[in-house]
Amino acid sequence: MLIEAHNVTKAFGAFKAVDDASVTVEEGDILGLIGPNGAGKSTFFNCLTGDLPVTSGRVSFAGHDVTRLPPEARARLGLARTFQVPLTFESMSVLDNATIGALLRHPNARDARARARDVLQRVGLGHVIDAPAKSLGTPGRKRLEIARALASEPKALLLDEAMAGLTPTEVRDAIELVRRIHGDGITIVIVEHLMEVIVSLAQRVVVFHQGREISRGTPREVTSDPKVIEAYLGRRKVRHA
């Protein structure tokens, strides 16, 4: 088991954004976390990465209890992530962005740079290596975040709405990229609210609604689960169906 979350609850005051969620991810999985806006999937995601401390429950990664560990310690154990709104290093070049990731396993800057070049080629940013990161558009930034994360040579890559704001063609390219990364042996956890992305990528899906898990299974199973349809479409639509 690569990632295990046991009875994770995250409360903001009286409001429980995540309520008693337990999810396990096996090595080599592509797990999808889905749910309508405000379902708590992003909050849960940030509990896995350590950006938000859990209120109660336990998170472990690669055999280590990481519940109390900060994000940087989890990253060192091999947990990489991207952000919903890309947080590229704006004052740096594309190459330097990826170099920051590569420095985690290659302390020598020259080695890290070489490693960063490779990764940028692999994710399709080879032609903009020397461009300033701030000259990239949203799709480029999302790709750069993935490159940066990959350069840190992770065991698992957690993608937070990596497809949001992309055109259908761009989504297709991004799905292709994620498949390739998975093919290289990296476990993927992907948060999405685009059902089509999950259906074409994920092997297993967990559906969140109002902070709780309401369904889990293969993409086919969950999309036909009435509870999921109700959560996504609302009560009225279901009655008509």
Partner 1 sequence: MNRYLFFGALVVLALVYPLLVQGIPVWERMGALVLLAAIGASAWNIVGGYAGQVSVGHAVFFGFGAYAAVVVYTHLGWPPIAGAPLGMLLSVILAAVIGVPTLRLSGHYFSMATIAVGELVRVLSSTSDFLGGAQGLGGPAMPRSVFDLSFLSATPFYYIFLAVLAFLLGLTWWIERARMGFYLRAIKDSERAARALGVSSGRYKLYAYMLSGAFTSLAGSLYLCMFGFVDPESGFGILISVKMVVMAALGGAGNLFGPLVGALILVPLEELSNSYLGGRGAGLTFVVYGAIIVIIARFLPSGLLSLFRPRPSKPAPKSEIASGHAD
Binding site for partner 1 (CB under 8 A): 49, 51, 70-72, 75-76, 80-81, 83, 87-92, 96, 99-101, 103-104, 107-109, 112, 121-125, 127-128, 131-132, 134-137, 139-140, 143, 148-149, 152, 166-167, 169-170, 173, 176-177, 180
Rounded to whole angstroms, the Cα distance separating 103 from 92 reads 15
Q: Give DSSP secondary structure letters for 12-29.
A: ETTEEEEEEEEEEE-TT-
Question: Quick one: 91 or 235, whose CB is closer to partner 1?
Answer: 91
Question: Quick one: 120 or 205, whose CB is closer to partner 1?
Answer: 120
CB of 123 to partner 1, least distance (A): 7
Nearest CA to 213 out of 3, 1, 28, 43 is that of 43
Question: Quick one: 80 or 205, whose CB is closer to partner 1?
Answer: 80
Burial class (CB in 10 A: 0-12, 13-18, 19+), 127: exposed
CB of 10 to partner 1, least distance (A): 17
Question: Quick one: 22 or 167, whose CB is closer to partner 1?
Answer: 167
CB of 81 to partner 1, least distance (A): 5
Rounded to whole angstroms, the Cα distance separating 156 from 79 reads 5
CB of 31 to partner 1, least distance (A): 19
Rounded to whole angstroms, the Cα distance separating 163 from 174 reads 7
Q: Token pair for residue 77?
A: 């154990």
